[in-house]
Amino acid sequence: MTTRITHSEGETAAVGRDLARQLDAGRAVLLEGPLGAGKTAFARGLAEGLGCDPDDVSSPTFTIMQEYRGRTPLLHVDLYRLTPVEVDDLGLEEMLGGNVMAVEWPDRWREAPADAIRVTIGVEAGSRRRILIGGPIDERLSGRLG
């Protein structure tokens, strides 16, 4: 488990950017945290780290999913408004293939990949965030984030 402390939205995005540079297609990143924690800011950093335009990234709460093109495409999914049964109907597993997938509110995805990276963003005082990154992260990846 890697822990990072950030003090701004830009710093939170930078942690996402650092993580993205270590990811290959087919990897899911599960983003957990309360409303306003910075999940979309983290996804913006992921997009930038994958070579996508970070200015294109916005919360997909109402669109459910947005796709961003870069060296590796990023699918940004927000499951907040869906039930687990509705999520099952999306077929997220099939879409993962050639993409990195960032999933907000992943507790609704009953079939999330066992090898997904789990990012938990905790809100602390003011704009301070505690970001925990866990899952099957190899030594190479863990060393570059810590």
143: confidence class by pLDDT, cuts 50, 70, 90? low
Maximum distance among all Cα pairs of the chain, rounded to whole angstroms: 39
User: 9-20 and 39-49 are packed helices; what angle lies between their axes, rounded to 10 degrees?
Assistant: 40
- Per residue in 94-106, pLDDT tens? 999 889 999 999 9
Q: Write out the residue range of the structural domain in which residue 11 sits.
A: 2-145
pLDDT of the residue at 137: 56
CB 122 within 8 A of CB 42: no
Place of tokens 């087919």: 26
pLDDT of the residue at 126: 87
Contacts of 63 (CB under 8 A, 6+ apart): none
CB 79 within 8 A of CB 105: yes
- Min mean pLDDT across 71-80, 110-119, 134-143 is at 134-143
* Amino acid identity for residue 27 in this structure: R
Number of domains in the chain: 1
The pLDDT of residue 4 is above 80? yes
Query: Do you know the residue count of the chain?
Result: 146
The pLDDT of residue 138 is above 80? no
145: confidence class by pLDDT, cuts 50, 70, 90? low
- What is the average pLDDT score of the chain? 90
Higher pLDDT, 3 or 58: 3
CATH number at residue 32: 3.40.50.300
CB 111 within 8 A of CB 22: no
Q: What is the DSSP string of 67-127?
A: EE-SSS-EEEEE-TT--HHHHHHHTHHHHHTTSEEEEESGGG-TT--TT-EEEEEEE-STT
Tokens coding 144: 């570059």
136: confidence class by pLDDT, cuts 50, 70, 90? low
